[in-house]
Amino acid sequence: MFNDIDSIKNLFREEIEKADNLKYLQELKIKYLGKKGVITGKIKSLGTIPPNERREYGQQVNDAKKYIEEIIDVHEKALRTSELNKTLQTQRIDVTVPGHYTPAGHLHPTTQVLNEIIRVFTSLGFHVEQGPEVELDFYNFEALNMPKDHPARDMQDTFYISDDVVLRTHTSSVQVRVMENNSPPLRVIAPGKVYRCDADVTHIPMFHQLEGFMVDKHITMGDLKGVLQVFIHMVFGPATKLRLRPSFFPFTEPSAEIDISCVICKGSGCSVCKNTGWLEILGAGMINPRVFEMAGYDPEFYTGFAFGMGIERVAMLKYGIDDIRLFYENDKKFLEQF
């Protein structure tokens, strides 16, 4: 029997009795079993023990180590359980408290209306094309039968980047781009942002348009009216009437403004339709043969229609909004309604 090992065990027993928290237990563990611990020290000193006693002494040290490890382990488990129980009692979770509500956002009303319109036209076999917002003067104006200095350019207040580059003023700029790279038959819609130096209750400098055009042999004004009729019934309801009014666009001949019966008064006359019973919704017409020539199509062979609408304007009509600027003021009270 080696007295020093016995005294270590006795001292450990006294000390472990006082272990009433994990921190103290950890300190004990280090004191006895750590790198510089009492037991580790004994293991290291084995070389100094006379060879005839070394084996037995080693055995005793190992037994003491195992003994201490086991007791510390038992205490550790017990202390962990009691600390967990204490926490559970002092920090009860009230599962009946309502959770925190994180409001989910939703698509902007312009995007919602644009998506709805895109769905209508794609269901009619139109496919989506896109063009650049910073556009060559050629595609925005010249290819659409509006040469430089043509007075028709004044219809659209333009942001010029340089003499030959503009912020596109309308999505009609996509027409010739698509025609240059594709042969008829074409059934295309081109949605996107457009820019004009314009600002009041019905005009903003950045807004969205959707262009549509169809090109093939024997396309007529009747096809234009039929397609727009379906669109208007799907977006505004089947009772909504449509009428074509003669108008002018350099890139369509003949041209028309399309009106729908007032969505507020159903045509009887109110302040929204200025007592006319009608609301203007888009511009349209048969594609001017000059545009086909610019695109390299033979106008003797092909005909087509085109139309273009302002998306915010459609949303205003659909929801009865009287100030277009509301769309982009980021007022949550306004946006949450959609």
| Chain residues that interact with ligand FA5, rule: CB under 6 A | 156, 170, 172, 196, 198, 203-204, 207, 209, 211, 249, 252, 282-285, 306-310, 312-313, 324
Containing H/E element for 73?
A: helix 51-90
3 state SS of 8: helix
CB of 250 to ligand FA5, least distance (A): 9
Q: Which is nearer to ligand FA5, 135 or 312 (CB)?
A: 312
Q: Which is nearer to ligand FA5, 84 or 199 (CB)?
A: 199
3 state SS of 150: coil
Among 314, 273, 286, 312, residue whose Cα is nearest residue 227 = 286
Q: Which is nearer to ligand FA5, 32 or 307 (CB)?
A: 307
CB of 95 to ligand FA5, least distance (A): 52
C-alpha span between 92 and 213 (Å, rounded): 66
Query: What DSSP designation does 156 have?
Result: S
CB of 308 to ligand FA5, least distance (A): 3
Q: Which is nearer to ligand FA5, 60 or 252 (CB)?
A: 252
Q: Are 195 and 169 in contact (CB under 8 A)?
A: yes
Among 154, 161, 164, 163, residue whose Cα is nearest residue 198 = 154
Which residue's CB comes closest to ligand FA5? Answer: 310
Q: Which is nearer to ligand FA5, 8 or 174 (CB)?
A: 174
Which segments within 134-229 are labelled E, that is strand? Answer: 134-136, 165-167, 186-195, 206-216
Query: What DSSP designation does 200 have?
Result: B
CB of 102 to ligand FA5, least distance (A): 34
CB of 104 to ligand FA5, least distance (A): 29
